[in-house]
Chains A and B, each alone.
Chain A
Amino acid sequence: MSYEAGNFDVVVIGAGHAGCEAGLAAARMGAKTLMITINLDMVAFMPCNPSIGGPAKGIVVREIDALGGEMGRNIDKTHIQMRMLNTGKGPAVRALRAQADKIDYQSEMKKVIEDTPNLTLLQGMVERLIVEDGVCVGVITKTGAVYRAKTVVITTGTYLRGEIILGELKYSSGPNNQQPSIKLSEHLEELGFELVRFKTGTPPRVNSHTIDYSKTEIQPGDETPRAFSYETTTFITDQLPCWLTYTNEKTHSLIDQNLHRSPMYSGMIKGTGPRYCPSIEDKVVRFNDKPRHQIFLEPEGRKTHEVYVQGLSTSLPEDVQQQLLRSIPGLENVQMMRSGYAIEYDAINPTQLWPTLETKVIKNLYTAGQINGTSGYEEAAGQGIMAGINAGLSALGKEPLILSRSDAYIGVLIDDLITKGTSEPYRLLTSRAEYRLLLRHDNADLRLTEIGHSIGLIPEDRYQRFLAKKDAVEAEKERLSTIRLKPSTEVQELIRSTGGSELKDGILAADLLKRPEMTYEHIEKLTPSEVELDQDIKEQVEIQVKYEGYIEKSLQQVERLKKMENKKIPENIDYDSISGLANEAKQNLKQIKPLSLAQASRISGVNPADISILLIYLEQGRIAKTSNL
């Protein structure tokens, strides 16, 4: 029996990292939104490592923040440690990473959701979608509740037909022994979706009281207070350290001896696992010349003594995990509180999606997160906010929002997924971005706040603060490029002290700043700004001036690509009728249905000649149309 339970603009299935951002974005934009999740205690749950950010991922968190999302603000309120990584490298690859208090993170996020107007949070298991003439118009839960909606977002994580594998044991389950979602997966198949089977895993957790930390190395957080959100003004100063230890010969020989009991090698696991997140048994087998592997001990929160054993992801049987742990220095007497496991789940082939994350199979249906073949909280949240935005925009009758590869890592992520697909759980890496000098963590606000404001996710007061910062950066850059420094004693002395070569002539302050040994601080000493500038403004000026040449080069590349992005391909194009296209190109173009020539050029098997031919074909149509008028 079913019953009518309510009408919404947007229904979001799932409340993990993708679901939370999707629900919040849609509701904040003014769409009446419902979030349904199997277990309300699992909102924003972190089933694996207790950390957020890191290279590429940390930049995504800032991008989410600049668009008006929640992940950055939430981790700023709930972390136990924060570190800036890659500080010795260029500005493009610096990245913030936080160790989360998992429990705080969840409860804080849940509270924000409950406090958000237009947003209803509900426990329930969606089993079917209501689809009329290829358009999704609502969902039905296990208990028969029918929720009508203009658009629906699915963010099911690893719940779809999830199966936990632990040694010889295999059972139907979502992450952390939650109820899996089985009927929805079958229903998606019925609707015509192509599903793939992926695998991921998590390491055991141990009791902090039973760790001998004296045998490990301390890994403290940064002393400088840091935050992900551009809006965060209060910082957590009381931080907890992580600890580093290593596996050894004994650990490795234990793995060798028990390999026959590993579901990875016995053939029990069929799903494709991610290369960047290998299990310890994988690492030992594939890199057997390595005498040791790093193991980081990461606290899961302030109100728990559970410790996450990073580096020991495994699906070996429980008794073997126990032995492995105890072979590691510092863990000789450790008590394992939860064992590690592998989990297999269904995902859809993401080439079935448009760049808006709407599915090509069913209209008004969007998907985000692990269901799209990704892995990682940040990747999920980044897609979540975009799916939420587009589901919201569509429900409100507005134009969609698509971020390009030069706008954001989120743009890179989505474009990769929908254009190239993925054969393993997808993780963002800095190397996936061709314009990473433009996609820095320090300028995410400059890149995206405007967009966030235009779709109603950035409130006016925050927008004004942003504009003021932007103006201040421009003004200071302008000042430095007009002030000429003479080779005075003071100037020469400062240059000498930095090991640079002395001036022969006067030099523009901006040009002096471009020298590798110079920083904004040095320039400031010689020619201070009249107004007091915030640290982030100084940093921005320094980066923009110092790397101007390289940034300019990247911008030119983007400009060239924009022309290709602007050449739109109509949805009804008949690739079969275009003579000259290579067969492989035809096949792939028909499957991916690219929206622009630029996207077409990124599809595998489509070469530059195919693009030229396509361009001529499109122009021919355009010219023909104009001349018919």
Chain B
Amino acid sequence: MEFDTIAAISTPMGEGAIAIVRLSGDDSIKIANQVFRSIGGKRLTEVPTHTIHYGHLIDPKNEQVIEEVMISVMKGPKTFTKEDVVEINCHGGIVSVNRVLQHVLSYGARLAEPGEFTKRAFLNGRIDLSQAEAVMDLIRAKTDRAMNVALGQMEGRLSKLIRGLRQEILEILAHVEVNIDYPEYDDVEEMTHKMLLEKAMYVRDELKKLLQTSQQGKILREGLSTVIVGRPNVGKSSLLNSLVQENKAIVTDIPGTTRDVIEEYVNVRGVPLRLLDTAGIRETEDIVERIGVEKSRQVLKEADLILLVLNYADKFTKEDENLFEAVKGMDVIVIVNKTDLTQQIDMDRVKELARDHKIVTTSLLEDRGVDELEEAISSLFFAGTIDAGDMTYLSNSRHIALIGQSLHTIEEAITGVEMGTPIDIVQIDITRTWELLGEVIGESVHESLIDQLFSQFCLGK
């Protein structure tokens, strides 16, 4: 067979409990075998065709488990593309499926172009000649759609970031080039390993941040992860219930009855929230409860939004103060609940600690203040740092994969620098990073490097 091995997510993004990453090509079984450990110790290279296997996707470097998966092995020609095909069934949801895709890409598969599986099916004679026209239309349509997604983001924060980053890289490249093509030019400092390392590390860090931005796909597809914290019995579960309007968590008057993390999805004025109720955050000797508390602290760290609940009818305590301390620097809305009871809390103290955070007073029992809370959540989201325009990006696994690969190539460049490889050779990986980022926004014209060279430097005999 004359094609390399390609991979892509073949199920609709973000919907369904199971997602499938599909590989096609000569090396698909070999690649899958490298990153898969079956429960029974089977090797995918040795299993019969058209069989399915349960096990874990692992990182072969340290044998760490990445995902729990089912893998189908189908050898050509009895497959959709007539090539060897592997399908990795993993948990649905953009984060896990992208992680799986990223993983097979870093072990030798190439990201499929839009419509490429169908294209191969045709080229390998799987699809009838009369359907050629349809295949061409499909490729055109899929590409146009992909481009529209990309164009939709042109104004977005992400494409701006990528453009900025590409410009940054372009300047590095131009600097290296000018050293090579004009070695006697005295104005330009010779690019040193130290300078290059600094710049490459900057790019790497930005790419990492960018990938984290892509985690906001999780926010939009899976909801903004929202944690409700507060001392026991301040009304956390009531808040959850009030937002969900469904009795999912157990509500009692006894402190500490909500032992584990409970998740609930809810759409608040267009903002998808994934609500996590937590066990009360406080030191406890109860072993069962401690598990809950530790998990709570972990969840807190990963949260996008914190709803901090205080008791209107109780004195402000040291524990409340600790909570403010624990959520420092995060997006927080302070909720003072139980206004139906007599005030005991010192509101001045609350305001002092809340600083810029919004404070909402509620009586969940009497269903008061919930509207105001919802308004606060929605305005925080839409006016805040999270740009709603990024929504399109976040559903695009192709971009996430490309940025992931860019990160990989810049890391190789950094390794090269650290090994003392000559700069003009390390540059191969830097150029590749630049090209990959160009693919995200649909730009890969080499000429711009030469343009950069002559606009940045005064050159010539």
A→B interface (CB under 8 Å):
49, 55-56, 85-86, 88-93, 203, 274-278, 283, 286-287, 290, 293-294, 296, 310-311, 313, 420, 429-432, 434, 436-437, 516-517, 547, 550, 553-554, 560, 563, 578-580, 604, 607-609, 612-613, 615-617, 619-620, 623-624, 627
CA distance A434 to B447 in the complex (A): 12
CA distance A203 to B461 in the complex (A): 9
Instruction: Assess the A437–B2 pair: CB atoms within 8 A.
Output: no
B116 surroundings in chain A (CB, below 8 A): 612
B449 surroundings in chain A (CB, below 8 A): 431
CA distance A547 to B119 in the complex (A): 37
A91 surroundings in chain B (CB, below 8 A): 422
A420 surroundings in chain B (CB, below 8 A): 447
Cβ contacts A to B, 25 pairs, < 8 Å: A86-B183, A89-B423, A90-B421, A90-B424, A286-B458, A294-B184, A313-B461, A429-B177, A430-B181, A430-B424, A431-B177, A434-B446, A579-B133, A580-B139, A580-B140, A609-B139, A609-B140, A609-B143, A612-B115, A615-B123, A616-B132, A619-B122, A619-B123, A619-B132, A624-B129
Within the complex, what minimum Cβ distance (angstroms) separates B442 from chain A? Answer: 8
CA distance A431 to B423 in the complex (A): 14
CA distance A57 to B12 in the complex (A): 52
Instruction: Assess the B140–A616 pair: CB atoms within 8 A.
Output: no
Within the complex, what minimum Cβ distance (angstroms) separates A377 from chain B? Answer: 13
Q: Tell me if B425 is interfacial: C-beta within 8 Å of chain A.
A: yes
User: Which one of A277, A290, A517 contacts B420 once the chains associate, using CB atoms below 8 Å?
Assistant: A517
Instruction: Assess the B137–A580 pair: CB atoms within 8 A.
Output: yes
Indicate the size class of the contact surface on chain B. Answer: 35 or more
Instruction: Assess the B129–A620 pair: CB atoms within 8 A.
Output: yes
CA distance A578 to B133 in the complex (A): 9
Q: Tell me if B453 is interfacial: C-beta within 8 Å of chain A.
A: yes
A278-B460, A434-B446, A437-B428 known; 5 new pairs, CB 8 Å cut-off, are: A277-B461, A313-B460, A579-B136, A607-B442, A624-B129
A620 surroundings in chain B (CB, below 8 A): 129, 132
B143 surroundings in chain A (CB, below 8 A): 607-609
Q: A276-B460, A517-B420 are in contact. Are A294 and B186 (CB under 8 A)?
A: yes
Q: A604-B445, A620-B129, A623-B129 are in contact. Are A429 and B123 (CB under 8 A)?
A: no
Instruction: Assess the B180–A277 pair: CB atoms within 8 A.
Output: no
- Most chain B beta-carbon neighbours within 10 Å: one of A85, A430, A612: A612
Instruction: Assess the A617–B454 pair: CB atoms within 8 A.
Output: no
Q: Tell me if B272 is interfacial: C-beta within 8 Å of chain A.
A: no
Within the complex, what minimum Cβ distance (angstroms) separates A213 from chain B? Answer: 18
B114 surroundings in chain A (CB, below 8 A): 609
B428 surroundings in chain A (CB, below 8 A): 437, 550, 553-554
Question: Smallest CB-CB separation from A420: which chain B residue?
Answer: B447
B179 surroundings in chain A (CB, below 8 A): 89
A86 surroundings in chain B (CB, below 8 A): 180, 183
B136 surroundings in chain A (CB, below 8 A): 578-580, 613, 616-617
Instruction: Assess the B139–A612 pair: CB atoms within 8 A.
Output: yes
A609 surroundings in chain B (CB, below 8 A): 113-115, 139-140, 143
B 231-243 to A, binary, CB cutoff 8 A, 1 in contact else 0 = 0000000000000
Instruction: Assess the B458–A89 pair: CB atoms within 8 A.
Output: no
Closest 6 CB pairs of A and B: A90-B422, A516-B420, A609-B143, A287-B458, A580-B136, A275-B454
B190 surroundings in chain A (CB, below 8 A): 88
Question: Smallest CB-CB separation from B133: which chain A residue?
Answer: A579
B425 surroundings in chain A (CB, below 8 A): 90, 92, 437, 547, 550
CA distance A578 to B137 in the complex (A): 11
CA distance A609 to B184 in the complex (A): 43
A619 surroundings in chain B (CB, below 8 A): 122-123, 132
Q: A290-B187, A579-B137 are in contact. Are A612 and B177 (CB under 8 A)?
A: no
Instruction: Assess the B183–A55 pair: CB atoms within 8 A.
Output: yes
